[in-house]
Structure 1
């Protein structure tokens, strides 16, 4: 998968090429001193920004080594902002794609999405070479089209590599991808959801462009009825089954109903079908997430402020003021809000034995977070490593979370950007710290999973829905004029951790405190303390 190519010391992936480079560059390590700075070569490829040095860095000690990235590498997808500085002229410019730079930079500052700020000095470097490498970083970190993301070239070259095995192409072992009916069937049997069935009416994405081809619906709802109802839901997104409690109550996700005339009738029809699936015909409660939780813009605003506090100005205030600023960002407030709401849904399912519908406008953002947290709290299977990965694959990737837009990989629409997946990981981290023996995975695992969002070779985080992935892959192959030879491009899946880490390093993902699946439920407090909220409606 990897090869050592010129320039010497640069670790390169399949399909990676050097775009530009400059020698005699100084990487700034300390804020107020140059004693610990490193000297070397700055290289821009079509995948990452690399710094090659022969100096040893004593201050940083990493527990693990990434097979795709060196110690000083920055994936281009992780670049948030590129800033060039000229000390003599007192000029500073934020660079975007295809922009001109009228001065020779003496410094390059790269602001990263993973909270890093990386600075390079060009005091001894050739001014024209420094300018070219800065422009290359700005250009290649702002791809104009999804197919210009490095993952497409990587997947194409990887497919034609004789060293890649079939299993390696199709994704990691054990983790169900929920792209076939058998994966859903196993989940139905595992949870005992006998009154639910796998539905295939969306094969070829014939009904909804953002739903998976296969999903689970009540047995009492016929395919013909579902086809008739689909046009009334936002995005043609029919209700999705998530999970069944041992007591028979079900968790369901549902988009909003656009037609107010049909709303009451459809609500009643869906709820009746869910009620029939319950052995005791228990109540169905609805939780309107749009009314009870912060929206994606609020979450993004809190995250931007959090990054400002933690990265740009961490030492500019006293500890008391810093903590006050942290509270003022509202990030932790939102983490608490999502955990609290998930716990309330847990009480409805377990304490009240009621089925619950999570309703959101298009059912692609807030519902992903809440459904995941509810299942993690209630089902120990999802606190295992394989179970958690299958949960993300099902409730996020296959359910059509807009990773391309929410991660803003193309840096085109800042209004669509929102760190919802990072919010989930923070919520899980909070639970992990409270219940360390209940989780098979560690904080290290959550960290590398978060970092993997910015490595643009995994289909897991590159697309808005399965259909978009299929369409872009087909178009890319057609552009290569190889339709007859190969009609579908296959990306690696992030769950195959051998792509990034050795088996020794992967051992750091497993918690030594884990006691197995003995802890059934991990939400805080006594269920009796929770009350039905105003956003929960009884049908």
Structure 2
């Protein structure tokens, strides 16, 4: 059944609907039934999908489904009266619609025609979609309906899996769980993992007695007593006391802090906090404070840049963008802001790595820009956060538990004044690093894209709330209203997005794996014994993209190294340090030396931020645009070939272990069948080409996006395919 999710009910439907597929012809259109449920809109058809030979399968969403929380705008059209109306919740529709256009937050545009449908039925389904996609109350989101059914019917499961928890493996043999940082023990393990011996887990906020926007447990300097923390908390905005994020092996700590609102007490409290952080450092090093509000774009600027990017990629007619594509892209400022975050984070990496000082990220409330900056710094410094489980734990620690306002920033309740795509910008920044150092990350760009999509599915509690306290408060109220007995539980237990088995089969989850990733160690066999092969730090990266174009004989040109005299870090003006010419040169020398050396994939990685190095994330922003699709092209072709090679290597290793262990081949055939690659080599002699279904939008289906007329063969399509030479008008005319 297309409506198999527990708690999902059909609200309205209309038959004889035509879903438009191609832009300039109706021959590929599909006929079927348009259905609105309390979870999604669904188009049910028996017609085969044209122009498509592959589509990965989401177990929660069908091929033509759109989650209600992914809908951004609904437009109804009447051709006869030449009218159109943007539908809001509880609005009336005075004309019978002949067409419905749905604009999605992931840049999709879906279009339906009601030429053969009943006019009243078409109107009702449009109004239903508008109403259910724009709820005014948090408890009206589908996740509450789902967990209510789970608690009333505990034997039921979604896709055969129990909800909640940190999720299992995603196709790896380890099956490692993602820590959720909801308990004391998770934080304690992170302290031990990073060697932060002078820090402790604090439970002063247990039951959210101090601050409702902080987690119940967090890490503070051991020298700070609970009584002092309670006293200091009144001086911080939102009572958000300083939060420890991470410790460098040299003892430097990364700390997040909200602004101190009490002006009279500001200097005294600030000094005491900094002294406590200093005492936590083995060298008693100074503390470096970075005011993020002064040196990074604010959330309103980021939202404006995202709107311009969407307008450019989706809404603008091709004729108006073709000749000024690059300048229009620059004018969005999206890539400029990505460069700012990467640059500033790298400069703070320098402070921790080279100057051996602790860094405090200060922001007004400490729950927006600091989420992004703290996460980027840790991705650059700690290879654990470049693994799948590590990256998920990072998001859980620095975003979910630290109080990033997913409900408001993702605009689940259509309060657009608080919307800002900060989480998307973080994923884009990580993609930039992945693009520059592909062998340093365990996950693929498909994983990052699907993770972004999952934030738009209203089933998972991970990306649904503004803070952990809101989840407990709202779910407890909901449980009382539905007569659900919680027992000792703190609120309802929502499904966790890290349990990827709720969305994908084990086979499809293999797409998350990066075939270029080089783990910290790999087993090898010598004289019949399995030993560990440790790679030397002198080994060069396996990718040419990590070598800058200006690198000649180990020397980088003045234009290529990261900092400049007008670097953002010079504007921070920390209290403990007067920036001088020699200190500026010290930073420049650090980056110069780092880029001149071979890349240690298991150490620090730094971004290249020149104009050509920061790119547009095509898979995320262009995947639904049919005109931008490159059949048998794009980065997926390299992904496919490397996957086959990696699978062959894995196969050889398994065969070698099988041979050395003197076991029967039949006895361990299950091990031989194991593969971490989605694309597999059929045999060691397999030389087959790429599958027919590969395109630059893989694994997504770029159909149904009707924002433009066809641009195939035009300069923009050539640019999207990576061509460096623009075609002349005469060449285009000949191709037509």
Aligned to 1:433: 435
Aligned counterparts of 2:378 and 2:139: Cα–Cα separation in 1: 34
Aligned in 2, Cα 1:228/1:523: closer, same or farther, shift over 3 Å?
Answer: farther
1:58: Cα distance to partner?
2.8
| 8 Å CA contact 1:385, 1:440 repeated in 2 | yes
Aligned in 2, Cα 1:190/1:333: closer, same or farther, shift over 3 Å?
Answer: same
Aligned in 2, Cα 1:89/1:527: closer, same or farther, shift over 3 Å?
Answer: closer
Aligned counterparts of 1:27 and 1:64: Cα–Cα separation in 2: 20
Aligned counterparts of 1:121 and 1:100: Cα–Cα separation in 2: 20
Mapping of 1:356-435 within 5 angstroms? Answer: 356-411=359-414, 413-435=415-437
| 8 Å CA contact 2:343, 2:562 repeated in 1 | no
Q: Which shows bigger deviation, 240-249 or 311-320?
A: 311-320
Aligned to 2:507: 504
1:298: Cα distance to partner?
0.4
1:527: Cα distance to partner?
7.9
1:317: Cα distance to partner?
3.2
Aligned counterparts of 2:44 and 2:509: Cα–Cα separation in 1: 26
1:60: Cα distance to partner?
3.6
Aligned to 1:187: 190
1:149: Cα distance to partner?
0.1
Aligned to 1:329: 332
1:52 to 38, 44, 49: 44
Aligned counterparts of 2:202 and 2:154: Cα–Cα separation in 1: 37
Aligned counterparts of 1:486 and 1:274: Cα–Cα separation in 2: 36
| 8 Å CA contact 2:403, 2:468 repeated in 1 | yes
Aligned in 2, Cα 1:426/1:77: closer, same or farther, shift over 3 Å?
Answer: same
1:169: Cα distance to partner?
3.3
Partner SS state of residue 264, structure 2: helix
| 8 Å CA contact 2:321, 2:328 repeated in 1 | no
| 8 Å CA contact 2:34, 2:44 repeated in 1 | yes
Aligned counterparts of 2:319 and 2:150: Cα–Cα separation in 1: 47
Mapping of 1:203-242 within 5 angstroms? Answer: 203-242=206-245
Q: Does 1:23 align with 2:60?
A: no
Aligned counterparts of 1:535 and 1:229: Cα–Cα separation in 2: 25
| 8 Å CA contact 1:171, 1:492 repeated in 2 | no
Aligned counterparts of 1:354 and 1:375: Cα–Cα separation in 2: 15
Mapping of 1:127-526 within 5 angstroms? Answer: 127-159=119-151, 160-164=153-157, 168-173=163-168, 174-313=177-316, 315-411=318-414, 413-483=415-485, 488-517=491-520
Aligned counterparts of 1:112 and 1:528: Cα–Cα separation in 2: 39
Q: Which shows bigger deviation, 434-443 or 56-65?
A: 56-65
1:63: Cα distance to partner?
4.8
Structure 1: runs of 5 or more not aligned:
5-9
Deviation track 1:363-405 (CA, whole Å, cap 9, x = no partner) reads 0100000000000000000000000000000000000000000
1:53: Cα distance to partner?
1.0
Aligned in 2, Cα 1:416/1:61: closer, same or farther, shift over 3 Å?
Answer: farther
Aligned counterparts of 1:314 and 1:368: Cα–Cα separation in 2: 36
Deviation track 1:99-118 (CA, whole Å, cap 9, x = no partner) reads 11111000000000000011
Aligned to 1:114: 106
Aligned in 2, Cα 1:61/1:397: closer, same or farther, shift over 3 Å?
Answer: farther
Q: TM-score normalised to the size of structure 1?
A: 0.95
Aligned counterparts of 2:25 and 2:263: Cα–Cα separation in 1: 65
| 8 Å CA contact 1:26, 1:39 repeated in 2 | yes
Aligned counterparts of 1:410 and 1:471: Cα–Cα separation in 2: 17
| 8 Å CA contact 2:312, 2:321 repeated in 1 | no
Task: Please tell me the root mean square deviation across aligned C-alpha atoms, in Å.
Answer: 2.0
Aligned counterparts of 1:305 and 1:189: Cα–Cα separation in 2: 44
Partner SS state of residue 20, structure 1: strand
1:538: Cα distance to partner?
3.4
Partner SS state of residue 349, structure 1: helix
Aligned counterparts of 2:132 and 2:502: Cα–Cα separation in 1: 23
| 8 Å CA contact 1:314, 1:322 repeated in 2 | no
Q: Does 1:70 align with 2:62?
A: yes
| 8 Å CA contact 1:50, 1:72 repeated in 2 | yes
Structure 2: runs of 5 or more not aligned:
169-176, 521-534, 549-559, 577-736
Aligned counterparts of 1:395 and 1:148: Cα–Cα separation in 2: 27
Aligned in 2, Cα 1:526/1:354: closer, same or farther, shift over 3 Å?
Answer: farther
Aligned counterparts of 1:428 and 1:251: Cα–Cα separation in 2: 19
Aligned to 2:641: none
Deviation track 1:110-166 (CA, whole Å, cap 9, x = no partner) reads 000000011000000000000000000000001120000001011121232414489
| 8 Å CA contact 1:408, 1:414 repeated in 2 | yes
Aligned counterparts of 1:263 and 1:383: Cα–Cα separation in 2: 37
Aligned counterparts of 1:75 and 1:183: Cα–Cα separation in 2: 32
Aligned counterparts of 1:419 and 1:87: Cα–Cα separation in 2: 35
Aligned counterparts of 1:324 and 1:529: Cα–Cα separation in 2: 24
Aligned counterparts of 1:527 and 1:130: Cα–Cα separation in 2: 57
1:320: Cα distance to partner?
4.2
| 8 Å CA contact 1:285, 1:536 repeated in 2 | no
Aligned to 1:81: 73
Aligned in 2, Cα 1:15/1:167: closer, same or farther, shift over 3 Å?
Answer: closer
Q: Which shows bigger deviation, 371-380 or 262-271?
A: 262-271
Q: TM-score normalised to the size of structure 2?
A: 0.70
Partner SS state of residue 139, structure 1: helix
Q: Which shows bigger deviation, 161-170 or 112-121?
A: 161-170
| 8 Å CA contact 2:403, 2:466 repeated in 1 | yes
Aligned to 1:7: none
Aligned counterparts of 1:248 and 1:63: Cα–Cα separation in 2: 48
1:12: Cα distance to partner?
2.7
Aligned counterparts of 1:197 and 1:485: Cα–Cα separation in 2: 30
Aligned to 1:534: 571
